[in-house]
């Protein structure tokens, strides 16, 4: 082999090595750019192939995702017939990679998750949905809302449809309605409990916008009306008064703490409400249930006054102060600035939950239901005069031991005198 052939072979070997390095770099670069799927997320995908046993869907990963087994069985014939190669749709990622290296997908769970998000928007918009009755149970009808099944309680079925239902058994009343069209409005959504409550009555009410306009003009602020709960949401309850819905905000349901309206109210329940606000421009009605109830806070606060010394149990510590429970289950705040004359970084430096402390009331705000307490002002000279007067008043209200003993002696002597007189009376 001459020198030129040797050089040529060397150059070819170096070229192959360079090409291999370039290919590896390219593959590594493409791998970094791949948006790997994560379990529980919803992705856009394109159907690559459909067979009786599986559906392959491209979602931009290293390998195509697969819908097979029980995930495929969950699809109805109608849903499967609506699928075709090249179709773009949403998919739910069950597992980023199975034992065969495939991404495991679900169409049904994607349909359902998006459907729940959709109905949660519909309840706020008061959307009327045209659908059909797909079943029934002893309590009412079942209607399809996208991929979900909603329940129409018998109390929420329109008067016209109820007039058509006869018989004692659900089959007699509702069987003939299956397959019929129905217009409904969503009145309650609880995704965790998979609870979707519908109302035909709310949807079929005559031109709701005109009706609401008329009712708003007739309502008066400060007046009490009887209404019916039509829907529940995290932020409050909607109550229908004379055909128009008003909102009872969560804070206006009860004087007691309520986390969700469903704790004290249910759809269809009849309640008395007070109109506290009418926004005629935005056509909104503000209602209150608790305004018709006695405020227990005010009666509990009758025994407290600013400057008074009280005993409290520390219930919570926060970075801005500590909460203490007083007599009557009244809870007040000791701001961090009221804990000590010295600088305190966190209440845990001077207090612990469960501690029983003597505290001074420094502020009472009846409308906000707030009471301010102080630990550092318990021995404050500024309140010395008030403390002296309170002590004097307590002393005057209490009977001294000497007075009590004298009274008891007089009572005994009086009883003895009566006893001695009785024999003489009997002899006479």
What's the confidence (pLDDT) of residue 425?
Answer: 42
Contact 240, 227 (CB under 8 A): yes
> Is 275 part of any domain?
yes
Within a domain: 416: no
More confident residue, 340 or 61: 340
Taking only the tens place, the pLDDT of each residue in 296-348 is 777 778 788 888 899 999 999 999 999 999 987 788 999 999 999 899 999 99
Note whether 229 and 163 are same-domain residues. Answer: no
pLDDT band at 163 (very low <50, low <70, confident <90, very high): low
* Domains in the chain, number: 4
254 and 197 in a common domain? no
How far is residue 81 from each of residues 69, 84, 92, measured CA to CA in Å? Answer: 17, 8, 19
Give the pLDDT score at 21.
Answer: 55
The reply to whether 8 falls in a domain is no
Q: Which residues are within 8 A (CB) of 405 and not within 5 positions of it... i.e. 6 or more apart?
A: none
Token pair of 417 as six digits: 């005198």
**Residues 208-214, mean pLDDT to the nearest whole number:** 68
| Residue 412 located in a structural domain | no
Q: Is residue 152 part of a domain?
A: yes
Neighbours of 359 (CB within 10 A): 24
Same domain for 165 and 181: yes
Considering the domain architecture, whether residues 302 and 235 belong to the same structural domain is answered as no
338 and 260 within one domain: no
How far is 160 from 64, CA to CA, in rounded Å? 52
Domain annotation covers residue 355: yes
Q: Helix, strand or coil for residue 18?
A: helix
Whether 228 contacts 270, CB under 8 Å: yes
Contact (Cβ atoms closer than 8 angstroms) between residue 146 and residue 132: no
401 or 113: which leads in pLDDT: 113
Q: Let me know if residue 245 belongs to a domain.
A: yes
Q: Is 139 helix (H, G, I), strand (E, B) or coil?
A: coil
pTM of the model: 0.39
For residue 187, what are its two tokens? 């009145």
**CATH code of residue 153:** 2.40.50.140
| Domain extent at residue 60 | 42-108
Per-position b or e across 21-44, b if 16+ CB within 10 A of its CB: eeeeeeeeeeeeeeeebeeeeebe
Reply yes or no on whether the pLDDT at 68 is more than 50.
yes
Mean confidence (pLDDT) of the chain: 80
Residue of 31, 91, 24 lying closest to 56 (CA atoms): 91
């Amino acid at each position: 082999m001459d020198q030129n052939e040797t050089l040529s072979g060397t150059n070819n070997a170096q070229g192959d090595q360079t090409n291999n390095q370039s290919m590896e770099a390219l593959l590594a670069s493409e791998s970094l750019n791949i948006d790997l799927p994560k379990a529980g997320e919803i992705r856009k995908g394109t159907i690559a192939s459909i067979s009786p046993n599986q559906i392959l869907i491209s979602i931009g990963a290293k390998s195509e995702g697969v819908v097979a087994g029980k995930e495929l069985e969950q699809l109805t014939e109608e849903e499967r017939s609506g699928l075709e190669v090249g179709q773009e749709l949403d998919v739910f990622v069950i597992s980023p990679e199975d034992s065969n290296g495939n991404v495991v997908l679900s169409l049904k769970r994607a349909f359902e998750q998006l459907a729940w998000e959709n109905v949660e928007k519909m309840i706020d918009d008061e959307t009327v949905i045209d659908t059909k009755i797909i079943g029934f149970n002893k309590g009412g009808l079942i209607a399809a809302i996208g991929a979900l099944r909603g329940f129409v309680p018998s109390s929420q079925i329109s008067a016209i449809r109820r007039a058509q239902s006869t018989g004692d058994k659900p089959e007699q009343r509702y069987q003939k309605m299956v397959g019929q069209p129905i217009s409904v409005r969503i009145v309650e959504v609880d995704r965790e409990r998979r609870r979707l409550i519908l109302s035909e009555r709310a949807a079929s009410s005559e031109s709701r916008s005109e009706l609401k306009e008329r009712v708003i003009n007739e309502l008066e602020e400060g007046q009490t009306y009887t209404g019916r709960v039509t829907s529940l949401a995290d932020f409050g309850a909607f109550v229908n008064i004379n055909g128009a819905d008003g909102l009872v905000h969560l804070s206006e349901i009860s004087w007691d703490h309520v986390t969700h309206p469903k704790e004290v109210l249910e759809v269809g329940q009849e309640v008395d409400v007070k109109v506290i606000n009418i926004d005629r421009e935005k056509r909104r009605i503000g209602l209150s249930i608790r305004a018709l109830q006695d405020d227990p806070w005010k009666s509990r606060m009758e025994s407290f006054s600013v400057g008074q010394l009280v005993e409290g149990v520390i219930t919570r510590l926060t970075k801005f102060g500590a909460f203490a429970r007083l007599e009557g289950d009244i809870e007040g705040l000791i701001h961090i600035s009221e804990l000590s004359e010295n600088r305190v970084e966190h209440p845990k430096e001077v207090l612990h939950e469960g501690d029983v402390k003597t505290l001074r009331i420094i502020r009472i705000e009846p409308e906000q239901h707030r009471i301010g307490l102080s630990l550092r002002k318990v021995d404050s000279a500024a309140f010395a005069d008030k403390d002296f007067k309170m002590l004097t008043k307590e002393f005057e209200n209490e009977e001294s031991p000497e007075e009590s003993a004298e009274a008891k002696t007089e009572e005994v002597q009086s009883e003895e005198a009566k006893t001695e007189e009785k024999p003489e009376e009997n002899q006479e």
